[in-house]
Homo-oligomer: A and B are copies of this chain.
Amino acid sequence: MRLAELSERSGVSPSMIKYYLRQGMLAPGRKVGATTAEYGEGHLRRLRLVRALVEVGRLPVATAKEVLGHIDDDSLGRTIRLGAALWALPHGPDPDESDESVVAARQEVDRLLEKVGWGTARELGSLSPDHRELVVAVATLRRLGYDWDAELMEPYAELMYQVAVRDLDFVESQPSDAEKAETAVAATILFEPVLRALQRLAQAEESARRYGL
């Protein structure tokens, strides 16, 4: 397809497409003339991901470029490739190690990972921004007087593992490694609001079942 059709089908204006081409966030089309190029379904898919990152995820363009760079790096193993792309997404502040609730939270997180047998998460430890984010979130709960410990978190961890298995099944249904990585990133950004809304709706539903309206 030509640029005009790519623009119409992706919902991205021609000038923004040209900008993404200059930034290297979109591969050049196949030259078919001095000023025209031909684009394919891969370009369309990539523009959807760029929109997910920039418009929905509100990532700065430099961060989006970094995420896309990991997706495009086929020298990496699949877990590392997905991980590198997901780790490049924005995360909250790092834990403040001088805070005693951070120390206690890290102990509980480590006990939790041992209880549920998540060996990779234990091995990576605070190398992973998600591990650091979990420690910060648990430390905040504990500082405010909610004594969340490994035992309280364990059933939630088991349920979120089942969610992750479904996520990976969906990612696996994509044909190529590049599409798998793209889908993993898009799902993380786009699907978290769906899960949050489902959880809140489910809370209202269960509350109505227990107590009436």
A residues apposed to B, CB below 8 Å: 11, 44-45, 48, 51-52, 56, 77-80, 82-83, 86, 92, 113, 118-121, 124, 128, 130-131, 133-134, 136-138, 140-141, 143-146, 148, 152-153, 155-157, 159-168, 170, 172, 184, 186, 188, 190-213
Which residue on B lies nearest to A130, using beta carbons?
B200
Complex Cα gap A152–B164 (Å): 14
Knowing A77-B212, A79-B208, A161-B206 are in contact, say whether A56-B140 is a contact too (CB < 8 A).
yes
Complex Cα gap A160–B160 (Å): 9
Quick check: A166 and B156 within 8 Å, CB to CB? yes
> How many copies of this chain?
2
Quick check: A128 and B201 within 8 Å, CB to CB? yes
